[in-house]
Each structure stands twice: as C-alpha cells, then as structure tokens.
A = this chain, B = another copy of it.
Amino acid sequence: MKTDVEISQNAELLPISEIAAKIDIDDQDLEPYGHYKAKVSLNNVDDNLGKLVLVTSINPTAAGEGKTTLTVGLGDALTELGKNAVLALREPSIGPVMGMKGGATGGGYSQVIPMEDINLHFTGDFHALTEAHNTLAALIDNHIHHGNELNIDPRQIEWKRVLDVNDRELRQTVVGLGGRTSGVPRQDGFDITVASELMAILCLATDLNDLKERIANILIGYTYDREPVYVRDLKVQGALTLLLKDAIKPNLVQTIEHTPAFIHGGPFANIAHGCNSILATKAAMHYGDIALTEAGFGSDLGAEKFMDIVTPKLGKTPDCVVVVATIRALKLNGGMNKSELANEDLQALEKGAVNLYRHVQSMRQFGVPVVVTINKFGTDTDAEIELLSKLIGDNLGIQTYVSENFTQGGKGAIELANGVLEAIEQPSDFTSVYNADDELEIKINKVVKKIYGGARVELSGKAQTQLKRIKKLGYDKLPVCMAKTQYSFTDDPKN
C-alpha cells in the first residue's frame, strides 16, 4: 500500500470553489487562499442546523487510534450514501510537523487535503494567534517599562510568550536584559502556540464581538498588592481582536473523496478543551445535513469537555456519539507488551476490553445514542475481531461496526455509516455531568466520579488554595477544564 504522503500527493483536488458550491456557500462568503483552501464568512449562519455526530475513542496509545481517519472515512461513507455530510476538524500545529509527530489530517485513503498546506502555514490562523499573543506580551512589558501605572508585579505575570515551534530552549527564559532602555528584567517562557489561551478563546468564541469580550477578560497577572490585572485594564482588546479578524473564520478544504471539511482551531485536550472551533462546527451543521466532529484524546478528556464546555456555547448537543477502538490498544490495555502487539492474544484483548466498556458507559450517561466501531489494522486477526464483537454485544448490548476505511476509503465505513444514520434518528435526552451552579469542588468530584470512575477527589493544600483564589476571582461558575494524562482514566499514564 502507498504511504499517506503518496496517497495525498496523488489525490485529485477539486477547486475549492466547486466544493463550496456543493454546499451552497455564497461567493461573497468564500475567501479563497490559493486554489484549494478558503476561509468562509459566517454572515448567514442561522439556527437551521443539521444533525451532529461526535467521534471519540478509548484511551489512546502513543501512536493514536485513528480517530481523525475514522471521522474522515465516516464522512466519505455518508457522502457515498448520498448524504450531505460536512466535517469539522482541528487544525494541526506546525510545531509537531517539524518535530516528531506527523500531521493531523487523517491517514491512508481517509485524508483531508492539500495535506502539506494544511500541515504548514495553512491560512495563517496559528501565525495570527502567535502575533496577537506576543503583541499582548509586548504591550504588558511596555506598560511596565513606561511607568507601570497599573502597578503590575513583573514576577507575577501569567501571560507568557508563544511560538508555533517545538523549542525546548525557550521554555524558561530571562528577558528584559540589556539595561535601562531594554525593558524590565524578569523570568518568562515560551509555550507552543496551540497552548495559548487565545487559541482556547478563539475556539469558544461565537463571533468577533464575543472574541473581543473574552480577550478583554484575560487575566494577565497580578499587581504588587496581589490584585488581578486584565487585558481590559490595558485597553488593548480592540487591537488584539483586529489581529484575529481573519483567524476567526473557519477554513474550508476537502477530503480525498471531496467531502467538504472545515478545519479550524486546535487546542490540546490534555491541557485545554481539545475541540475544533465552535464556528467550524456550526458551519458544518449549517452547510451540511450531517456534521461530524471529533474531540481530542479519549472520551474521558475530549468528549467530556465537548459535552460540558462546548455544547453550552454551541447551542446544540450531539445526536450520536461514535466511540473508536482498536484491537491493538485494547490488547495493550490488557497488559500486552507494546513490541508484541502484532501477535494474536485473545486473553489480553478480553482483559483490555474493560477500558472500552467504561468509555461507552461514560458516554451513555450523557443520554445520547452511542455507536462503537473497530478501526481495523492489518494485524488484527479474525478471531480477535470476532471475540471483541461478541464481548461488546454481551457487555454493552450493541452491534459492533468494523471500519476499513484506512485501506478502502469511504467504502470501508459504509456499515458504520448506516449504523450512525440509524442512531441519529433515535430519541436523545442530553444531561451534562455537572451544573454551572455547582461549587467548583462538586464539579470536579462529579467529573472524577462519573467519567474517570474515581471514588472521590482528595485536594492537596496547594489545590485548595488555588480553588479559593479562583473563587475569589469570581470564576467559580465557569465549567471546569481538567488537565490530566491522556493515557489512562487515572493520573498515572501507566495505570
């Protein structure tokens, strides 16, 4: 079989205007970036929205479980079945591209293209975020340098700098050296751009005004008297928002099989909420009859956050959740060595399948139909697939769909597509994990108990102090966004 890159480079691209025309995007709303990418203005998005399918997975292994690949394949299968399916996916960081990880555009015959462009500068969203983030940092230091009217303590600035480069050398720095005219000496550091709070904000914003207000409310640090300082105190939210005026518009590309795909925004799910932008998902629901989106890492991280953080702002809850599993990952969960995963091991599989049951049960708590699919790998044996299907039937009472879209494209996920079409017509009764009015500690406990399967939370002294501070800052009615290892339900990646 060809490599991902070969498949991608040999794929036939339709002009982006043709893709846009398929889903009736107005010429006025389409801003092409070259021949095969475009930004889409959302002037005409109303409440007439299509169905929404959320794709999530079990705890991932280091290699990933092919969630994006599965989402793309499912979209293409729906297209094949004559449905108007539109994807909403996350935008990859250029950092990991130049570093160790591959891009995030799917794989095999289920890819979004043009891969190289998407993986490099794309339409400049991350660059605009980098620019806006660092402009704010410069404005803070500039304020201090010029008399520091706000009395900001340079040792208590929370707003670091960012680059869309994997650069360990910049993690911890000292800046402002060089004397009286070169700023104020202080400790600082650079994060990767996707970790910027602006990224999270951009993905949660419902329009440009909302973005501006969110930016105004960013906490940038504390005064010498330990009082909070916000962007609005510097009065620069307007300038920063201007820098993001194009970045806020979702990007339109296509799959190899020409299914339209909005690719926009990319916060991580282990430290942030891990979903593409609300505007992209909204665009997919507006222009498509069925919108497919995915949430980062396993259902304990990305999907929980989609349900509890994203949907209140999205104004729509999923009509179906698809949980992706792989035989390999379950065997790993069942105790097999990573180096031996290519061998059949029914015992490990059965043992590891428990992890899948828990993810499915977690998702069922939200009151939405759950569909399970096995993303088939070449090394999976018939016996393994048969066993897993049987276990799922026995334990969860549902049918298992085996997806082979990696090797076959959309055709390989037709059965799953039919299963999903059926599921989204079922009645659903959405319930979130916690209420906005719950105390912070209650919210945390509910997530831990209902989603992670924990008994209760034991807060360290430091965490208690932080919760008090968060409450004092008036943030206690916000949803909680948990930071946790992606590799297991606990705080221990190996367990």
Contact = CB atoms under 8 A, between A and B. Distances in A.
A171 B167 contact: no
A173 B33 CA distance: 37
Contacts of A154: 185
Contact of A173 (B34, B175, B181, B242): B175
A82 B137 CA distance: 49
Interface in A181-202: 181-188
Nearest to A245: B120
A295 B327 CA distance: 64
A174 B171 contact: no
A214 interface: no
Nearest to A31: B34
A47 B186 CA distance: 55
A187 B177 contact: yes
A345 B158 CA distance: 48
Contacts of A178: 171-172
B165 A181 contact: no
Contacts of A32: 32-34
A450 B302 CA distance: 50
A135 B177 contact: no
Interface string A125-149: 0011011001101100110010000
Contact of A127 (B34, B131, B242, B246): B131
A360 B181 CA distance: 38
B174 A137 contact: no
A98 B135 contact: yes
A169 B184 contact: yes
A437 B142 CA distance: 45
Contacts of A180: 153, 155-156
Interface string A148-164: 00000111100001011
Contact of A174 (B31, B134, B141, B174): B174
Contact of A175 (B34, B35, B170): B170
Task: Please classify how large the interface on chain A is, using the bins under 10, 10 to 19, 20 to 34, 35 or more.
Answer: 35 or more
Given A34-B31, A155-B180, A180-B155, A94 B173 contact: no
A346 B156 CA distance: 47
Given A32-B34, A131-B127, A155-B180, A167 B141 contact: yes
Contacts of A243: 120-121
Contact of A141 (B163, B169, B184, B242): B169
A239 interface: yes
A124 interface: yes
Given A33-B34, A34-B39, A138-B165, A185 B155 contact: yes
A419 interface: no
Contacts of A127: 121, 124, 127-128, 130-131
A472 interface: no
B185 A168 contact: no
A176 interface: yes
A153 to B, nearest CB: 7
A179 interface: yes
A130 B134 CA distance: 13
Contact of A171 (B163, B164, B168, B182): B182
Contacts of A120: 242-243
Contacts of A187: 177, 179, 185
A169 B176 contact: yes
Contacts of A141: 167-169
A68 interface: no
Interface in A4-42: 31-35, 39
A317 interface: no
A166 B138 contact: yes
A165 B124 contact: no
B174 A185 contact: yes
A168 to B, nearest CB: 5
B174 A177 contact: yes
Contacts of A145: 168-169
A183 B163 contact: no
Most buried by B among A34, A128, A239: A34
A142 to B, nearest CB: 7
Contacts of A130: 127, 130
Nearest to A177: B172
Contact of A137 (B31, B153, B167, B183): B167
11 contacts: A32-B33, A34-B246, A121-B246, A135-B165, A137-B167, A141-B169, A155-B180, A161-B170, A171-B177, A174-B174, A177-B187
The 3 A-B pairs with the shortest beta carbon distances in the complex, nearest first, are A127-B127, A169-B183, A172-B178
